[in-house]
Structure 1
Amino acid sequence: MHVQVRSKDDAVTRDLVNAVLALDPKPREVRWTSLSLCILDAVWSIGARYDMVVVPLVRRFAAGFGVESPTVRADSTLGPDPIPLSALAGLDVGSLVDRTNRQRTSTRGGILKAEAALRHFAVFVEHDVTTLAEAIELLSDSHRLADVDSALRRIPGEGGSGIRRGYLWMLVGNDDLIKPDRMVLRWLRHHGVDVSPEVARGVIATVAESLTATTGKPVTPWEVDHAMWNAGRLLPPTRKLGM
């Protein structure tokens, strides 16, 4: 059985709003300083433990380029990109594997995540986007963004729901493009809402809109998604409703 969430006035949505309010969602606190680091985070975070694998991997990569402080406060002024994609032109799959690991985008025949990251680098360079500032600027150009997004969609391991792309744009700076991954879906299922990632995006957007109206302050889909994700990590895996 799938619970259909039709509007913010729906009783299920109101229950979700109250549940998320109890989680006390907070704005983003820190961000990566480089587009290359955002890409590595987005590629490696799918199917990997974030705190134990992804963050150390990205920090290790940054340190290899002499960047000891790869994050800044989210509300701070953006400085020059310390590892622009133009500085990574000499990287091949083998050298990136040496700097990261040999994980694949899928356990069933997926390409190396190192190869997927390099393909991401190439797409951005092809579209003249090599720094985080340029990627943020790209977000405000719907036509260019659509072109880049379409090219990224063709990279193996992307999947039909576009979770990785949504997460990448979120890391770059769009708090409306989110990644309702398995932890978020687990939390929603725990609260009686068994939906696909695509539908979850709409649910989260509706909850964010309702929380903004309820609290009188802006609440972004990122804040809702992140609060659900943190809470979902603490829940045991659940079977889908109706199974």
Structure 2
Amino acid sequence: MSSDEDVAKLAVQCEHLLGPTDSWTPPEGYPDGLGLCIMDAVWSMGVRYGGVRRVVRRYRALRAEEGADPDVDGARDLVVAIEGTGGPVAFADVMDNRHRTSTRSGILKAEAVLLCARALVATGVESAADLRGAVEPMTSAAEHAWRAVPGQGSGISWRYVRLLAGVQQVKPDRMITRFVSRAIGRTPTPNEAADLVTAVATGLNVDLRGLDHRIWRFQSGRG
């Protein structure tokens, strides 16, 4: 089956199930807070999103107590905040969340957040604006460093951190992949699912982040 046929089938599914295109609005994300983008992207992998919201609230409270504004925290600020609690184990306790990147020998997500933040700083990406404006070779270097962190190798969280920062991107997690799979009659790889959603957004002339978010909400039962 050709890619064009898959795109056409997915477009029909989107128009049939997702409601008017003007309701396909992008997520709020954190346009000025790369620290929050990193936390959300890493902590959201493989879990219910309610738990991620609680972690974000606790981080906001922690930074507010320190007299800082979490909504403008960059990657370096996040590193300092984690180290200020005593390191990733202590940070996990402060966040009241000791989830790991994998049930089999995965590291704490708190540690993965720290490593991802350090990786971005090392490649010159310190703010959400830096991430939005990154071009080659910075983009490739940042992605390579991010995906080298345990549990981030699939690239899904890399796509998601960029989406949260405001980059036109798809997060091809299990919700997006399931929706695409139903439309085309087979299970795509995450990258293929992302490419198909991107093609549909282009063909329908809609915001890519908005389409991604609308698919995710529909597939997860949030309307």
Match of 1:129 among 122, 125, 128: 125
Cα 1:207–1:182 change in 2 (3 A) is same
Distance 1:142 1:93, change over 3 A: same
2:25 matched residue in structure 1: 27
What residue in structure 1 maps to residue 36 of structure 2?
A: 37
What are the Cα deviations for residues 106-128 of structure 1, in whole angstroms up to 9, with x where unaligned?
A: 11211110111110111122123
- The residue aligned with 1:95 is 90
How many residues of Structure 1 are paired with residues of Structure 2 in the alignment? 211
Match of 2:197 in 1: 204
CA distance in 1, matches of 2:163, 2:100: 22
Paired with 1:209 and 1:69, the residues of 2 have a C-alpha distance of 36
TM-score under structure 1 length normalisation:
0.77
Deviation, structure 1 residue 60: 1.3
- Compared CA separation, residues 232 and 97, structure 1 to 2 (3 A): same
Structure-2-length-normalised TM-score: 0.83
- Which residue does the alignment assign to 2:55? 57
Q: Is the 8 A contact 1:16 1:207 kept in 2?
A: no
Residues 232-243 of structure 1: pairs in structure 2 closer than 5 A: 232-234=219-221
Q: Partners in 1 of 2:43 and 2:107 — Cα distance?
A: 12
Conservation of the 8 A alpha-carbon contact between 2:27 and 2:164: no
Return the structure number with greater helix share. Answer: 2
Question: Paired residue for 2:170?
Answer: 178
d(CA) in 1 for partners of 2:171 and 2:68? 28
For 2:100 and 2:37, the matched residues in 1 are separated by: 18
Matches within 5 A, 1:135-154: 135-138=131-134, 141-154=135-148
Contact 2:170–2:198 (CA under 8 A) maintained in structure 1: no
The alignment's C-alpha RMSD in Å is 2.5
* Percentage of matched positions with identical amino acids: 31
CA contact (8 A) 1:96 1:114 kept: yes
| Distance in 1 (alpha carbons) for counterparts of 2:186 and 2:62 | 43
Letter in 2 for 1:182: R
Matched, 1:190 2:182: yes
SS of corresponding position for 1:142: coil
